[in-house]
Copies of this chain bind each other. A is one copy, B any other.
Amino acid sequence: MKRIAIDMDEVIADANLRFSEWYERDFATRILPSELHGKYFREAVTPEHREHIVQYLHTDGFFKDMAVIEGSQEVIQALAKKYEIFITTAAMEFPTSFVHKYEWLKIHFPFIPWTHIVFCGDKSIIQADYLIDDHVKHFARFSGQGILFTSPHNVHEKWTPRVNNWQEVASLLL
């Protein structure tokens, strides 16, 4: 059975929406999706707010209750019948995220056992046939096939295959 490793933020969990919610809460300004094109959220705000935004990632609760990326639950459940699925997230950079990410997965992806959840940093440690991720940097030393999941920050990256949503993942792998 082939194995698929799947990232969390911006692939199954909507981190940009959380940035947007907290930014609007703190500065009464909404960042429109069109303003995010080609950028990380921190690059779309005025420079004097940038450090404030980066601190969100280290704030307890940021990774709690994030919205689920559309289609991810249904498609991953279908993939799990044909592939071995691991969730592989670079959580090590953000220790405040550990318990929230773990609880989020239990709630939204209850069919993925704890044995198949990985918190890591450098994803070259992952042994899998495919890695679905929004960061091409993780594909450089990955031994399998990287599949780039489109997120505003990576739209200008050149990588094949690229998938724009979970329906395209289903078309590629099912």
Q: Which residues of chain A have a CB within 8 Å of any CB of chain B?
A: 3, 5, 86, 88, 91-93, 95, 98-99, 102, 113-122, 124-128, 143
Contacts and interface: CB of A to CB of B under 8 A. Distances in A.
The secondary structure that dominates the A interface is: mixed
A92 B117 contact: yes
B125 A86 contact: yes
Number of copies: 2
A115 B128 contact: no
Given A119-B119, A120-B118, A122-B115, A99 B92 contact: no
A118 B119 CA distance: 6
28 contacts: A86-B125, A88-B125, A92-B114, A92-B115, A92-B118, A93-B114, A95-B98, A95-B99, A95-B102, A98-B99, A113-B121, A114-B121, A116-B121, A116-B122, A116-B125, A117-B120, A117-B121, A118-B119, A118-B120, A118-B121, A118-B125, A119-B120, A120-B120, A125-B126, A125-B127, A126-B127, A127-B127, A127-B143
A134 to B, nearest CB: 18
Contacts of A143: 127
A141 to B, nearest CB: 9
A116 B114 CA distance: 20
A98 to B, nearest CB: 4
Contacts of A118: 92, 118-121, 125
A124 B127 contact: yes
A91 to B, nearest CB: 8
Contacts of A86: 122, 125
Contacts of A121: 113-118
